[in-house]
Structure 1
């Protein structure tokens, strides 16, 4: 079973990281980029905008104090990618859990709130291993404490839509996305970049839907499209990685209500008219 954080007593969907983390804050005065319109045009030229819930999405497990733990050393990239992020960390793995398809992330949340983020998990003789990964803290910052799980240095949980979000019918945090047009620069909240091109985008850049968009009055939107649109208007989204398409990510198997496919289209959201691009400043 793939578990996600439960809703709290108020019915609001749970979210990862501290309340003052950048992904849990509204940003009413982002700085619009002078080339915002061109950035939006390029982003939308990649094809239809989607929410991914299938094999491109992280599998999220939640360990208990009784879950067996193992010593894990990355199978690859240990030299070029730095020190082993799992050194000294007991990696929980339950025998009932399944490793996901090969090109996918597995996230295990420990009882003390750490997020162990494993690229290409494998299980042999009941013991897990990872090709690479990172350790973050779900009660602290969205920036990974050790290792790297996204090009921006942010946790794989940053901006992830969960089952609890869909159940609540609203999303109380920022989203995340990627673009193939990232250059090698980055802005807050990113702490690094894996972009190597000469594109316009910097990892960490912020997008949002303009307040002029009357989402409630847009009768063309499906219920799940309205949920995404309101999240983008209230909290926005951050560029966290390289990606072939402009997509948002929901945890593995957590399909938006009323959908059956692994890729739920957002074709009715008025991105071309109302999407804006800019940056936000870190709070002091």
Structure 2
């Protein structure tokens, strides 16, 4: 799902009007309030000249791949572990599953001293992702293909560390990061607590089947695009749900919360996937910490909305993909980067 491609950062910038909306003082994702994730979009934004064509290709990805827009929670998402100062650290090993041994020195510092709770569990699926945040040191880690050996030793094929997390805009230095775009999963992954409170104060993500080959848009630092074509979305490209769309027409309360976030903050294309998906946090750390069952079925209120037990795969079905709008490449880079 994520092939590692170490690409140089494209340095083209696009001047756009800076939004006047106030920044949230303490964004739920913990990254800088002035970064691309936590800055509200103005109501009127420039659109890409080919916005309608790009969005139509995303709609076709939905139609041709399961016919739905799913939320990834317990598979192909990430568990988010917030750990204390006293959490034991471990020197992880670079597993080099992609046979790129020259990258060992690049990731060495990220693996050197990882606070590793004894109950650490990566996401299900081949990504085996995990996210760790330590508030006491203001340090953050993402890992891809994380694996625990029988002796308890951990390894990862790729990932990265961000120091001074609360001042970081939500971008790994190239080529680090567990996603194909170098964008931290903790920046965009929807939290259980956000759905409970009924408000998301950051951009969310989308991942889709076809992404443009050799193309990435800020804030992405690289890509693993697979499809040629000027009207295929670039990884890192920002979208928004048309603010004129009436979200009250969406039946699911959870989907309404997500739709509002897409109107206010947008959705950034973070990766390619086997279907059109958006990520919410893996519930297993919450379940282990509280002894309670998976909270998503109750939160998603599936009664009379989707087939019983399938709420995660259908809950976003009332958000019309055709009402997405594609923003220009590198939207926001100039004024957010100063």
Question: Matched residues in 2 for 1:82 and 1:277: separation?
Answer: 37
Aligned match of 2:190: 161
Q: Find the partner of 1:186 among 216, 232, 236.
A: 216
Following superposition, the deviation at residue 80 of structure 1 comes to 5.6
Say whether 1:23 aligns with 2:52: no
Q: Which residue of 1 aligns with 2:276?
A: 246
The CA distance in 2 between the partners of 1:135 and 1:13, in whole Å, is 20
Q: Is the 8 A contact 1:13 1:168 kept in 2?
A: no
Please give the alpha-carbon distance, in whole angstroms, between the structure 2 residues aligned to 1:120 and 1:198.
28
Segment of structure 1 superposing worse, 136-145 or 31-40: 136-145
Q: Which sits farther off after the overlay, 98-107 or 35-44?
A: 98-107
Looking at structure 2, the residues matched to 188 and 264 of structure 1 have their Cα atoms a distance apart, in angstroms, of 30
Match of 1:112 in 2: 137
> Counterpart of 1:4?
none
Task: Provide the rounded CA distance (Å) in 2 between the counterparts of 1:158 and 1:16.
Answer: 8
Alignment-derived partner of residue 169 in structure 2: 141
The 3-state SS of whatever aligns with 1:83 is helix
- Following TM superposition, by how much is the alpha carbon of 1:92 offset from its aligned partner in structure 2, in angstroms? 1.4
Q: Distance in 2 between matches of 1:230 and 1:160?
A: 15
Q: Distance in 2 between matches of 1:40 and 1:84?
A: 36
Q: Report the counterpart of residue 227 of structure 1 in structure 2.
A: 257
C-alpha change, 1:132 and 1:196, in structure 2 (3 Å) is: same
Structure 1 counterpart of 2:301: 258
Match of 1:35 in 2: 50
Q: Does 1:91 align with 2:132?
A: no
CA distance in 1, matches of 2:319, 2:132: 33
Q: Does 1:45 align with 2:45?
A: no
1:175-210 CA-partner distances (Å, limit 9, x unpaired): 112232322112221122221431322122111111
Instruction: Give the stretch that moved more between structures: 32-41 or 82-91.
Output: 82-91
- Asked if the contact 2:94–2:157 (Cα under 8 Å) also holds between the matched residues in 1, the reply is yes
Q: 1:196 to 1:71 in 2, by over 3 A?
A: same
Q: Are the counterparts in 1 of residues 171 and 183 from structure 2 also a CA contact under 8 Å?
A: yes
Q: Secondary structure at the match of 1:263?
A: helix
Aligned residues: 271
Change (3 A) 1:56 1:205: same
> 1:239: how far off?
1.1
- SS at structure 2 position matched to 1:108: strand
> Aligned to 1:75, which of 91, 95, 103?
95
TM-score by length of 2: 0.73
Query: Over residues 48-107 of structure 1, what are the superposed CA-to-partner deviations in whole Å (9 max), with x where a residue is unaligned?
Result: 112111211101112211111111121014536563424263111122333443522011
Is 1:212 matched up with 2:238?
Answer: no
The verdict on how the C-alpha distance between 1:266 and 1:100 changes in structure 2, with shifts beyond 3 A counting, is: closer
The aligned counterpart of 1:126 is: 152
- Of 181, 198, 201 in structure 2, the residue corresponding to residue 172 of structure 1 is 201
**Aligned partners of 2:145 and 2:325: how far apart in 1?**
34
Aligned mates of 1:100, 1:178 — CA distance in 2: 17
Higher strand share: 1
Give 1:281 shift. Answer: 2.7
Q: Which has the higher mean CA deviation after the structures are superposed, 221-230 or 110-119? A: 110-119
Structure 2 spans left out of the alignment, 5+ residues: 1-23, 63-67, 284-294, 303-308
**Which structure's residues are more often helix, by fraction?**
2
Residue 46 of structure 1 aligns to a residue in which SS?
helix
Which 10-residue stretch deviates more, 170-179 or 254-263? 254-263
Structure 1 unaligned residues grouped into runs of 5+ = 1-9
